[in-house]
A and B are shown apart, each in its own frame.
Chain A
Amino acid sequence: MQVTITVNNRSITRDVEARTLLVDFIRGELALTGTHVGCDTSQCGACTVLVDGKSIKSCTMLAVEADGHEVSTIESLEKNGELHPMQAAFRECHGLQCGFCTPGMVMSTVDLLQNNANPSEPEIREWLEGNICRCTGYHNIVKAVQHCASGTKGA
């Protein structure tokens, strides 16, 4: 089946098998390997991307479902050599260790702050329900989100 998906502001038309998952399309077809696969039951969130601006687990969506939509992956966040404020906050607060969950964490929390510019600690933890990190104990991830929120306040 032919699909046309705008990925990171680039319109891409490809033939895909109907069963192709969006994450496999992103990683395999487009070689955007920043989006990761950590599970086979849609629970770890390592594969989180934005579809039309909203965070989605790309292992839970078929590539054909993304036809005609806009997808943003972790590779799109840095602009002109400047980290996105959420990326910068993760670095500042040591919100990552092995880095495997990180792209998903960042994409997910970018979406969180779009919805709630100043989330409380429980709101952040609640939002991250679908993202598993085995390295950080979440402490510094929560701090990174708080840090980013405080920096973007009023901006």
Chain B
Amino acid sequence: MGSIGQPLKRKEDHRFLTGRGKYTDDIVRPNQAYAYFVRSPYAHAKINGIDKAEAEKADGVVAIFTGADLEGIGGVPCGWQIHNKDGTPMAEPPHPALCTDKALFVGDEVAIVIAETKAQAKAAAQLVMVDYEPLPAVSSIKAAIAEGAPLVHADAANNRCFDWHLGEKDPVDAAFAKADHVVEMDVVNNRLVPNAMEPRSAICEYDPSSDMTTLWTTSQNPHLIRLLLGAFVLQIPEHKLRVIAPDVGGGFGSKIYLYAEETVVTWAARKLARPVKWTAERTESFQADAHGRDQIGHARLALDKDGNFLGLHIKNKANMGAYLSTFAPAVPTYLHGTLFAGVYKTPAIYVEVEAVFTNTAPVDAYRGAGRPEATYQLERLVDKAAAQLGMDKIELRRKNMIPKEAFPYQTPVALQYDTGDFIACLDLGLKSADWDGFEARREEAKKRGKLRGIGISTYLEACGIAPSALVGQLGARAGLYESATIRVHPTGSVTVFTGTHSHGQGHETAFAQIVADHFGVDFEAVDIQHGDTSQTAFGMGTYGSRSLAVGGSAIVKAADKVVAKGKKIAAHLLEASEADIEFEDGKFTVKGTDRSKTFGEVALTAYVPHNYPIEEVEPGLEETAFYDPKNFTYPGGCHICELEVDPETGMIEVCNITVADDVGRVINPMIVEGQIHGGVAQGVGQALYEGCIYDDDGQLLTGSYMNYTMPRAADLPMMTVGNHVTPCTHNPVGAKGVGEVGSIGVTPAVINAVVDALSPLGVKDIEMPATPQRVWAAIRAAQG
């Protein structure tokens, strides 16, 4: 009995496997028109005028709107405000939904063309004549901060968005002053394109008779979209705006944000009183989805003569792109700077981050969001320290790790870790990867002419976001609790409404396992509903590995309320005092007796209240709970990568990936492993394959699958996933979150393995992605 911990097959699979999933682009509304966006071909240009006369005459055109038509509506807002070192707020230039006088990146939305068919909209878009006056552009962090660089926004001097810091500088300076060794390195976190396989899409319908606007959209958080779009941009009251995120084909962060496209589609559908649909072509996804990573930085680590970490100084620069996306400022700051203690007891840490605007697509959270960047920097630095000090890289890590007796552990960078056992994860990882047997494998590979390397990363991340009061102090303009409503039906089956959103994570299954066990009902008797603002009380959605830790906790809270009410009803039925009623395995029992009522009997009584304590208890059995987390959660562990380099070609073959993670209590191990596999693939992608490149003029060179390398089946090995559980101490599920660990932990392990493989040749570092060309060049350079 009990489904928690069982690898139950997923409830959602049948519809996906039979082609019955309902994604946004599958939705067809009567009389719908199609939208196509005219986008800037320049990274930076003044718009002197737009002539739409010709286009308006084209076949099937319904309407064409430009920025001038949108006058009076709000810009696309940013949801997080960071403050500079001096206490002043960040630069926050406006983001008009359609460009008005200037276009700021290639793909910036200039006009929307709406026609009877998609082909007609696209054809007419070619006829919209925009008089662009190209301006000099900055397409990288380095270009943006160069002396005399062109400004992306006139009111953001030096292209600076903010200049932020965390931790205390003086103790760090003191640590370096007394250090026996200082290890330092420059690190680049390459820019990535999230590439959920389902392109973004939106279809909006307005019903003038009820004044109701319904937007179906590819969103990870429909309530957040309703709030931002309704209250901040279009001034539609919440009760007149319904946002539905149906089946969504992956998000990885890119579908959190309010974008210009769904904003304009919604506005246009209301204006025309006609459904308007837009679906991105992949080229548009590359151009206009929020990108990820894109940081450069310098890290310095102070150590004593025995290799104990004394202090860490981080000085980073982050690219925000042309406009501030919804969560962008949080990514290189509170989701990043707070991570630099990692699994280590470094006593003094100081982090400085400068964020800049460039003429590129907005950059925001992508799977891991700030934490992969920090982890990569830290774990590369630790490997470098081991090499420089001539110490074993495992021993150096082990000796600096926070021991399990030290929890709760306060870091010098704001976080307080509740629990964990880093050494146990390390040992588990080393054992399952057969770390000790590696040298023999290296020798064997050598005989085949291959350079074999092994790399490790021991890491921790902070997720399950987040305590509302805390993030409010840090600049969030929203709370980060979650809601759940549990509706027990008269015969004891259950519908759960969650404010989180599942776009691959299997909530319909894992959440049902929690509820089934809580009530002692059959797993099949529980249904999970999500994604429709008209159904769920409220919700902050799914990102930051929060759904189980925060959303699942809201479900447990609501379930507790159901049981509490059930006890009152059962006490009445059993003629006992409420305090004497126990609930276990689906039965309300009078303590110490065999007198009991089943969950189903109590539910039926609640809806057929003939014999009922009607004075004290309302009929019905439905409860809503909001859960606000007390702390972040801290999953972590150890990732090991083994690979072989062909020195002739620079080609890398990843031989195996071993994961030993602690993600807290596991509800469905099959889903947990799947989440890790997917995250690892994206992490390996960053390390070896993926890189988004703009040329100096801001043209996107990697704008399709022809030139942006997505990891494919043949690029990845089978993975070994192990688990060492220490349950989260502060939420009722005990879960820590698993969505992002893969992409956070594995990337440095891969690069550490590449460097390990090449180290016999004298290579000390390699930039991501470690493409064959880069590896080949590094080998040649090292050989002189």
User: How far is B405's CA from A25's CA once the two chains are assembled, in angstroms?
Assistant: 63
Chain B residues with Cβ under 8 A from A55's Cβ? Answer: none
B12, B247, B674, B718: the one contacting A136 at CB < 8 Å is B674
A99 touches B26 (CB 8 A): no
A135 touches B18 (CB 8 A): no
A37, A103, A121, A136: the one contacting B678 at CB < 8 Å is A136
Within 1-54 of B, Cβ neighbours of A (below 8 Å) are at 7, 9-10, 12-23, 25-26, 28
Q: Is A122 an interface position by the 8 A CB rule?
A: yes
Contact with B along A111-153 (1 / 0, CB 8 A): 0000000000110111011011111111111100000000000
* 18 residue pairs A–B, Cβ–Cβ below 8 Å: A33-B23, A34-B19, A35-B19, A38-B249, A40-B281, A41-B282, A41-B704, A41-B705, A98-B249, A99-B247, A125-B712, A128-B713, A137-B678, A137-B680, A138-B681, A138-B712, A141-B713, A142-B718
Chain A residues with Cβ under 8 A from B587's Cβ? Answer: none
Q: Is A60 an interface position by the 8 A CB rule?
A: no
Chain A residues with Cβ under 8 A from B326's Cβ? Answer: none
Within 4-52 of A, Cβ neighbours of B (below 8 Å) are at 17, 19, 27, 31-41, 43-44, 46
B250 touches A92 (CB 8 A): no
A98 touches B250 (CB 8 A): yes
The stretch among B98-106, B194-202, B439-447, B551-559 that forms the contact with chain A is B194-202
Nearest chain A residue, comparing its CB with the CB of B22: A33
Nearest chain B residue, comparing its CB with the CB of A107: B19
| Chain B residues engaging chain A, CB cutoff 8 angstroms | 7, 9-10, 12-23, 25-26, 28, 119, 195-199, 247-250, 252, 279, 281-283, 503-506, 670-671, 673-675, 677-682, 704-706, 710-714, 716, 718-719, 742
A39 touches B704 (CB 8 A): yes
Q: A132-B712, A135-B674 are in contact. List 12 more A-B contacts (CB 8 A).
A: A33-B19, A34-B19, A41-B705, A75-B18, A83-B17, A99-B15, A100-B249, A101-B197, A106-B17, A129-B713, A136-B674, A140-B677
A98 touches B197 (CB 8 A): yes
User: How far is B196's CA from A129's CA once the two chains are assembled, in angstroms?
Assistant: 18
A38 touches B197 (CB 8 A): yes
Given A91-B9, A96-B16, A43 contacting B706 (CB threshold 8 A): yes
User: How far is B476's CA from A119's CA once the two chains are assembled, in angstroms?
Assistant: 51
Q: Which of A27, A39, A101, A135 has the most CB of B within 10 A?
A: A135
B511 CB to closest chain A CB (Å) equals 16
B713 touches A100 (CB 8 A): no
A137 touches B716 (CB 8 A): yes
B13, B252, B706: the one contacting A41 at CB < 8 Å is B706
| Chain A residues engaging chain B, CB cutoff 8 angstroms | 17, 19, 27, 31-41, 43-44, 46, 73-75, 77-78, 83, 87, 90-92, 94, 96-103, 106, 121-122, 124-126, 128-129, 131-142
B197 touches A132 (CB 8 A): yes
A131 touches B713 (CB 8 A): yes
Given A134-B682, A137-B716, A91 contacting B14 (CB threshold 8 A): yes
Given A36-B249, A100-B249, A134-B678, A75 contacting B19 (CB threshold 8 A): yes
Given A40-B282, A41-B704, A46-B197, A124 contacting B17 (CB threshold 8 A): no
Given A19-B119, A139-B719, A133 contacting B18 (CB threshold 8 A): no
Given A97-B506, A99-B504, A129-B714, A74 contacting B18 (CB threshold 8 A): yes
A90 touches B13 (CB 8 A): yes
Q: Which of A40, A77, A98, A133 has the most CB of B within 10 A?
A: A98
User: How far is B442's CA from A143's CA once the two chains are assembled, in angstroms?
Assistant: 28
Given A102-B17, A135-B504, A137-B681, A94 contacting B713 (CB threshold 8 A): no
Nearest chain B residue, comparing its CB with the CB of A132: B710
User: How far is B714's CA from A132's CA once the two chains are assembled, in angstroms?
Assistant: 11
Nearest chain B residue, comparing its CB with the CB of A41: B704
Q: Which 10 A-B pairs have the closest CB atoms?
A: A34-B19, A99-B16, A100-B249, A137-B681, A98-B504, A97-B504, A137-B677, A33-B26, A74-B19, A128-B713
B283 touches A135 (CB 8 A): no
User: How far is B16's CA from A32's CA once the two chains are assembled, in angstroms?
Assistant: 13
Chain B residues with Cβ under 8 A from A31's Cβ? Answer: 28
User: How far is B479's CA from A108's CA once the two chains are assembled, in angstroms?
Assistant: 44
Chain A residues with Cβ under 8 A from B711's Cβ? Answer: 137
B329 CB to closest chain A CB (Å) equals 26
A97 touches B674 (CB 8 A): yes
B18 touches A97 (CB 8 A): no
User: How far is B179's CA from A105's CA once the two chains are assembled, in angstroms?
Assistant: 55
B18 touches A38 (CB 8 A): no
Count the A-B residue pairs with Cβ separation under 8 angstroms: how many?
180
Chain B residues with Cβ under 8 A from A121's Cβ? Answer: 718
A129 touches B252 (CB 8 A): no
Chain A residues with Cβ under 8 A from B710's Cβ? Answer: 132, 134
Chain B residues with Cβ under 8 A from A40's Cβ? Answer: 281-283, 704
User: How far is B119's CA from A139's CA once the two chains are assembled, in angstroms?
Assistant: 38
Q: Which of A43, A100, A141 has the most CB of B within 10 A?
A: A100
Chain B residues with Cβ under 8 A from A132's Cβ? Answer: 197, 705, 710, 712
User: How far is B252's CA from A43's CA once the two chains are assembled, in angstroms?
Assistant: 20
B14 touches A73 (CB 8 A): no
B25 touches A37 (CB 8 A): yes
B198 touches A94 (CB 8 A): no
Given A33-B26, A132-B710, A138-B681, A96 contacting B19 (CB threshold 8 A): no
Nearest chain B residue, comparing its CB with the CB of A121: B718
Chain A residues with Cβ under 8 A from B678's Cβ? Answer: 97, 134-137
Q: Which of A36, A106, A141 has the most CB of B within 10 A?
A: A36
A138 touches B713 (CB 8 A): yes
Given A37-B25, A134-B682, A91 contacting B197 (CB threshold 8 A): no
A128 touches B9 (CB 8 A): no
A136 touches B677 (CB 8 A): yes
B13 touches A96 (CB 8 A): yes
Chain B residues with Cβ under 8 A from A38's Cβ? Answer: 197-199, 249, 282
B18, B250, B282, B506: the one contacting A134 at CB < 8 Å is B250
B90 CB to closest chain A CB (Å) equals 32
User: How far is B710's CA from A131's CA once the two chains are assembled, in angstroms?
Assistant: 10
User: How far is B196's CA from A44's CA once the two chains are assembled, in angstroms?
Assistant: 11
User: How far is B25's CA from A34's CA once the two chains are assembled, in angstroms?
Assistant: 11
A126 CB to closest chain B CB (Å) equals 6
A91 touches B23 (CB 8 A): no
Given A39-B282, A40-B282, A128-B712, A90 contacting B705 (CB threshold 8 A): no
Chain A residues with Cβ under 8 A from B670's Cβ? Answer: 94
User: How far is B196's CA from A139's CA once the two chains are assembled, in angstroms?
Assistant: 18
Chain A residues with Cβ under 8 A from B9's Cβ? Answer: 91-92, 94
Nearest chain A residue, comparing its CB with the CB of B280: A40
User: How far is B26's CA from A73's CA once the two chains are assembled, in angstroms?
Assistant: 15
A34 touches B20 (CB 8 A): yes
Given A128-B712, A128-B713, A97 contacting B719 (CB threshold 8 A): no
User: How far is B679's CA from A74's CA once the two chains are assembled, in angstroms?
Assistant: 27
B641 CB to closest chain A CB (Å) equals 13
Chain A residues with Cβ under 8 A from B674's Cβ? Answer: 94, 97, 135-136, 140
Chain B residues with Cβ under 8 A from A41's Cβ? Answer: 282, 704-706
B443 CB to closest chain A CB (Å) equals 24
Chain A residues with Cβ under 8 A from B17's Cβ? Answer: 74, 83, 87, 90-91, 96, 99, 102, 106
Chain A residues with Cβ under 8 A from B20's Cβ? Answer: 34, 75
A135 touches B21 (CB 8 A): no
Chain A residues with Cβ under 8 A from B252's Cβ? Answer: 134
Given A31-B28, A128-B713, A134 contacting B195 (CB threshold 8 A): yes
Chain A residues with Cβ under 8 A from B713's Cβ? Answer: 124-126, 128-129, 131, 133, 138, 141-142
B198 touches A98 (CB 8 A): yes
Nearest chain B residue, comparing its CB with the CB of A99: B16
A17, A44, A83, A94: the one contacting B197 at CB < 8 Å is A44
User: How far is B677's CA from A96's CA once the two chains are assembled, in angstroms?
Assistant: 12
B706 CB to closest chain A CB (Å) equals 5
B14, B19, B671, B679: the one contacting A94 at CB < 8 Å is B671
Q: Which of B23, B712, B742 has the most CB of A within 10 A?
A: B712
Chain A residues with Cβ under 8 A from B23's Cβ? Answer: 33, 36, 100
